[in-house]
Amino acid sequence: MSRHWRAPFSLLLSAFLLPLCASAANSFENTAIVRIVDLGGALVHLTTTYAIRALEDGSNVYTIALGEQEHGHTSWLEAKLKGQTERLPLEDFGYHKDSGVYLYTVELPKALNVNQTANLVIETVQTHATYPWPEEAAQKDPQSLKYHSELLVLSPYKTAVQRTKIKSPSPQVHSYTTPESVEFTTDAVVTKAGATITYGPFYNIPPSATGTFVDKKQKEIVVHYALDFPVLEVTKLERAAEISHWGANLNIEDNYHFHNAGPRLKGHFSRLEHQSQGYFGRPAPHVIPSLQLHLPAGIHNVYYYDLVGNVSTSALRTTPSIPKGAEANRFSVLEMRPRYPIMGGWNYSFTLGWDSPLADYAGFDSKTGKYVVGVPIMTVIPGTVIDDAEVKIILPEGATDIDYYAPYPALSERISTHISYLDTVGRPKVTLKYKQLTDKHGGVIYVTYKVPSTAHLRKAIASATALLGFFALGLAVKRLDTRIRRK
């Protein structure tokens, strides 16, 4: 969340949000809400489908409410119409004090008239929403987590029927809450079939995005389940991308701090135990022996070292560069082996870097006389959260007229000068900082700048039109800005 941005905004809010809410409450009703919660480790993915019906002609702004706990864990939120790929514009109205909820509005592509319906799909990703239970486990013990949630999906509109399905990644569900005295149903509040626990259906729920409703009717539920794969968190990622026109090279160097957020290892680590588990093909679920990373196509000079020195046990399979503008459907695959298996509660820090042909990432816009270079924000690791990320883009010496476009806003951003011993005047550097990135946050930061007298390179990357197309797309996406902001 950008603090300087939010403060004036919320002031503005109290002035006009109330009327907005009041009119919003009349303009729709939910004929059904279905929420599917896919439990995981560091990330939990939620898909909520709102079947909505307009109560007034010309209804085109739908309001979504997140409870405080839910909002606290949510790092990504996007809205689409069911079956479509285009994201709908979303506006973040922040915390609404009088109702104790966080509000977002979604703009429908076409206004609905009375009794017209639409299916709105809201996808969110929660981070740090689970924790290991028990908190400690011996090397051969299983791994289990707990997930807390609120029972009812809140909405400023009345809802005819709603249900929530919580899917455990393993059929082993140790326990789940059966809340007492829930209104809105005369049947079983919760049922379980295989790895899926279903809360509801609940009927005829009044507008629930209010403090009174939350205090009186909302319930907490907890699911305790087994997880057969490790809970990997990146507590810190520092990426430095160095653009060299001389070498026509883009060097990317990532400094990772990994943390195994599974149960803390009880007792000592036994390599023998670990090896015999590996031998029988059943490594403990809370041990991270290796990790597969999808690196870009066309890379070379890949290096990987930790505090002790070079690590040479890893396997790398590279794939040639992808033509500019084509879909990135090929990856180089690094099977990364830490120096030691990362046990529950342990950390491992290392540096991973590579070189790429600059032409794979750069374009020259002859209209503006500027170079455009697209730098990926991070290497996406499915199921993993990155708590703190810092992306530095180091431009060629003498670069001027610098602009940059991130796919979603950073918490802090600045342009400064990077001085290395080979430089005379230093090189401009763009630094962006983020928190709680998820596997939805892959994206490209586009930097544009001018550099005098590098005609040789200009020729090499002359056919930049495809990349510029992407760049324009990046700008369009930026305007939609679907990233949720939070502390």
Ligand X SMILES: *[C@@H]1O[C@H](CO)[C@@H](O)[C@H](O)[C@H]1NC(C)=O
The verdict on 186 binding ligand X (CB under 6 A) reads no
What count of Cα atoms within 13 Å lies in the side-chain half-sphere of residue 138?
Answer: 5
Give the binding range for ligand X (CB under 6 A) out of 80-88, 103-111, 135-143, 344-352: 344-352
Backbone φ and ψ for 261, nearest 5 degrees, come out as -90, 15
Q: Please, which residue, 310 or 366, has the CB nearer to ligand X?
A: 310
Q: What is the closest distance, in whole angstroms, from the C-beta atom of residue 346 to ligand X in the complex?
A: 6
Q: What is the closest distance, in whole angstroms, from the C-beta atom of residue 387 to ligand X in the complex?
A: 8
The SS3 call for residue 286 is coil
- Given a contact cutoff of 8 angstroms between Cβ atoms, the answer to whether 21 and 63 are in contact is yes
Q: What is the closest distance, in whole angstroms, from the C-beta atom of residue 309 to ligand X in the complex?
A: 4
Residue of 84, 275, 347, 412 interacting with ligand X (CB under 6 A):
347
d(CA 445, CA 402): 13
Q: How far is CA 188 from CA 38, 110, 192, 223, 358, in A?
A: 22, 39, 11, 17, 61
Give the binding range for ligand X (CB under 6 A) out of 127-135, 345-353, 439-447, 474-482: 345-353
Triad 61, 65, 66: Cα angle to 5°: 145
Residue of 296, 345, 374, 398 interacting with ligand X (CB under 6 A):
345
Please, which of residues 106-135 interact with ligand X by CB under 6 A?
114-115
Q: Please, which residue, 202 or 348, has the CB nearer to ligand X?
A: 348
Please name which of 54, 50, 105, 58 lies closest in space to residue 82, comparing C-alpha atoms: 50
Residue of 217, 259, 274, 441 interacting with ligand X (CB under 6 A):
259
- Given a contact cutoff of 8 angstroms between Cβ atoms, the answer to whether 306 and 350 are in contact is yes
Nearest 10 degrees: Cα torsion 198, 202, 205, 210: -30
Q: Please, which residue, 345 or 407, has the CB nearer to ligand X?
A: 345
DSSP track, 93-160: EEEETTTTEEEEEEEEEEEEPTT-EEEEEEEEEEES-EEESSSEE-TTS--EEEEEEESSPP-SS-EE
447's tokens: 């930097």
Q: What is the closest distance, in whole angstroms, from the C-beta atom of residue 304 to ligand X in the complex?
A: 9
Q: What is the closest distance, in whole angstroms, from the C-beta atom of residue 263 to ligand X in the complex?
A: 13
Q: What is the closest distance, in whole angstroms, from the C-beta atom of residue 204 to ligand X in the complex?
A: 15
Q: Please, which residue, 313 or 465, has the CB nearer to ligand X?
A: 313
Q: Please, which residue, 381 or 395, has the CB nearer to ligand X?
A: 381
Q: Please, which residue, 389 or 457, has the CB nearer to ligand X?
A: 389
Task: Specify the amino acid at residue 184.
Answer: F
DSSP H or E stretch at residue 404? strand 400-405
Contact map string, positions 141 to 180, toward ligand X, x by CB under 6 A: ----------------------------------------
Residue of 28, 104, 304, 346 interacting with ligand X (CB under 6 A):
346
Please, which of residues 301-320 interact with ligand X by CB under 6 A?
305, 309-310
Q: Please, which residue, 99 or 260, has the CB nearer to ligand X?
A: 260
Q: How far is CA 485 from CA 21, 25, 473, in A?
A: 21, 25, 22
- The burial of 481, by beta-carbon neighbours within 10 Å (0-12 exposed, 13-18 middle, 19 or more buried), is given as middle
Give the binding range for ligand X (CB under 6 A) out of 12-20, 206-214, 246-254, 339-347: 339-347
Please, which of residues 196-255 interact with ligand X by CB under 6 A?
235
The verdict on 329 binding ligand X (CB under 6 A) reads no
Total residues in contact with ligand X, by rule CB under 6 A:
11
Please name which of 118, 106, 42 lies closest in space to residue 484, comparing C-alpha atoms: 106
Q: Please, which residue, 346 or 471, has the CB nearer to ligand X?
A: 346
Q: Please, which residue, 52 or 151, has the CB nearer to ligand X?
A: 52
Q: What is the closest distance, in whole angstroms, from the C-beta atom of residue 477 to ligand X in the complex?
A: 32
Q: Please, which residue, 6 or 337, has the CB nearer to ligand X?
A: 337
The verdict on 351 binding ligand X (CB under 6 A) reads no
The SS3 call for residue 409 is coil
Q: What is the closest distance, in whole angstroms, from the C-beta atom of residue 431 to ligand X in the complex?
A: 20
Q: What is the closest distance, in whole angstroms, from the C-beta atom of residue 99 to ligand X in the complex?
A: 28
End-to-end CA distance of the chain, in Å? 5
462's tokens: 């002359």
The verdict on 483 binding ligand X (CB under 6 A) reads no
Nearest 10 degrees: Cα torsion 342, 344, 349, 351: 50
Instruction: Give the footprint of ligand X on this chain (CB under 6 A).
Output: 114-115, 235, 257, 259, 305, 309-310, 345-347
